[in-house]
Structure 1
């Protein structure tokens, strides 16, 4: 309920919010005129109430011209003190709201001018009213607090804006990584299978049919994943999210790679644990990118994918018997994405020559976190 009310309040136009604030302040300044009063105090006249209500009206324009509104309120309040002897107010509501607005919305030069003039105006107002040191200190305190709250609101808004921009940048980078992994993997497999197709047509027609089936299956899988990603961009905050691929989808990924001619061995050691969706998706993408590099660059015959569940961490290793560092070790966007994915979970990634300097090896260590227990 609270989140719904907050979203509803944020959806209101600024003029509606300002009008609501003006009505609340009007209700507050009306109370001294309707509450029974001591007969010895000045009588509450309609003229006094009309001028009091007039000081509230400029609050509707407080965002457009905060300093001008503050000047108008100060002038109306001075006229009330000098020309009328009506009931006073327990707090200078209109002045406090306007000082808050100046501190929140005005540029530094205007804020500094108001901050320098405000103590003088407060001192003159107290001298015209009670000439009490106690009232002077209290007035300086409440106006100083209003100014401080205004600066705090401005600082919070700026911090939220920076945080939103950083979140948007992270999301753009995540989507770019996902699309790179999906497209790079699918296109690499399809190219390899398409190149093998003509040869298979001449020598083994049954293998050619399998190659074309693999091309079709790889394309359909890539289209399904891309539709899922693009659908996320169109979804609202409360819309359901399509699940990301995870460790359960690894056998299907390996089958598609095998259909392209690479012999893939899959090993799982240790006690398998339930992974969070984000961690499981990272494991899938790491394996996908490592195998994509092997298919594209390594000219390998065999690749070994190993998931080792250890104490508090999961080690994902993909090793091939291909060309070694001169192959997939070029450090392109794919392997950079592997390192970024590992770092996002507090893990690490090492890419380099395989055992004995032969082939290429991608080793990623990922801590389980709370979801791995």
Structure 2
């Protein structure tokens, strides 16, 4: 038989009274077909027993049982088989009485109850064969003849066809359910990835500027009475940093509001490193930039990731390190770009941690592009962030990153 394995059904059983139209409407139609069809067949089979009230009860019993076929498919198949055999044993006219059994068997196999239904079908077929070949002598109507083996073979062929069709239907339905589940999972992953991308962008946009604002606000508070001119300079820096942060946040929100449109302004890249160094200087951090190798045009996703990694590394130095100097190294080995940011430390005790999202975001960016990130204390003191980004970006770009858990990232140590 086609794909007749012995698996048990999956998923929770159906509970409650099955009153849906998809259950009782077919049962009503089938009852009408069996009553009318058997009545017509009886007029053409005068040798069979007449359909009295009990015969009609048996013809109605099958369709009534089918109403419960989803709640208890195996029990309904067994009961329908018993009702059908009793109808045949009592000598009533042959007709569409087997229709209820066909529907019951088909439904049970479609529900995944293949092993139990196969047993029931074999028992019913064997009993029907036994009645037609031997027991007919002792059953009504009197003078009934033996069923030919051709008729038995035909009944067996019909049974196999029903079982095979039900199995194919079950496989097709399961495939549709799997496809629907996979589409839902893919949509959920896309939503999660977009949420992570938005979180990274907002974090990278805000963390650096807010760190600058925080440092300069402390300077302004300390100097506002004794050195008002220096306090004014700090407040001017705060104004410029907050204006830039507000502009970048508006750019991110504008992109989210118009997902089908291209951003109105280009995403930041390594060409904006001088601005980054100037902002770091306003926060009291002197950053030196060194470029090794011949600069090449970077894919937009790689360019953005390299810039954000350098930005976040400087932000971490401002927030967590006692060092007031940093070194940024941009290297262009064949097929990749490397970003390395060093400071001489030490870490500031009790400094802001921000929950460690900065390093997490850097790892996610590099992993999404197929690169790697190492971040941790240097042997000679200080802290180093070293990112390697391939120029040949794989299919999941920075604009649509994959889940970071799908790609292992080298074990690193976060700055306390």
Report TM bin, short chain.
0.5 to 0.7
Determine the structure 1 residue equivalent to 2:320: 297
Where structure 2 has 5 or more consecutive residues not aligned to the other structure, the ranges are 1-19, 42-101, 129-149, 395-416
- 1:114-169 deviation per Cα after TM superposition (whole angstroms, max 9, x unaligned): 9939x96xx99xx99x9476666555444432221111111111222223223322
- Asked if 1:240 is matched to 2:262, the reply is yes
Where structure 1 has 5 or more consecutive residues not aligned to the other structure, the ranges are 1-63, 86-94, 104-109
Contact 2:320 2:351 in 1 (8 A): yes
State the alpha-carbon separation in 2 of the partners of residues 267 and 340 from structure 1: 25
Report the more deviating stretch, 287-296 or 73-82. 73-82
User: What is the CA distance between 1:295 and its match in structure 2?
Assistant: 0.9
| Residues 172/334 of structure 1: CA separation in 2 closer, same or farther (3 Å cut) | same
State the alpha-carbon separation in 2 of the partners of residues 348 and 183 from structure 1: 24
- Aligned residue among 352, 358, 362 for 1:338: 362
**Structure 1 length normalisation: TM-score?**
0.62
Contact 2:319 2:352 in 1 (8 A): no
Once the two structures are superposed, the pairs formed by residues 231-270 of structure 1 within 5 Å of their partners are 231-236=254-259, 238-241=260-263, 243-270=266-293
Contact 2:371 2:390 in 1 (8 A): yes
User: What is the CA distance between 1:346 and its match in structure 2?
Assistant: 2.3
State the alpha-carbon separation in 1 of the partners of residues 301 and 161 from structure 2: 54
Once the two structures are superposed, the pairs formed by residues 1-373 of structure 1 within 5 Å of their partners are 66-68=22-24, 71=27, 74-75=30-31, 112=113, 116=117, 131=154, 137-197=160-220, 202-203=226-227, 205=229, 207-236=230-259, 238-241=260-263, 243-324=266-347, 332-354=356-378, 357-370=380-393
Q: Which has the larger radius of gyration?
A: 2
Contact 2:277 2:286 in 1 (8 A): no
- Alignment: residue pair count: 291
Contact 1:314 1:367 in 2 (8 A): yes
Contact 2:112 2:170 in 1 (8 A): no
Contact 2:331 2:339 in 1 (8 A): yes
State the alpha-carbon separation in 2 of the partners of residues 261 and 170 from structure 1: 35
State the alpha-carbon separation in 2 of the partners of residues 269 and 69 from structure 1: 78
**Structure 2 length normalisation: TM-score?**
0.57
Contact 1:329 1:351 in 2 (8 A): no
User: What is the CA distance between 1:321 and its match in structure 2?
Assistant: 2.7
Report the more deviating stretch, 73-82 or 268-277. 73-82
Contact 1:324 1:357 in 2 (8 A): no
State the alpha-carbon separation in 2 of the partners of residues 352 and 211 from structure 1: 32
Contact 2:366 2:387 in 1 (8 A): yes
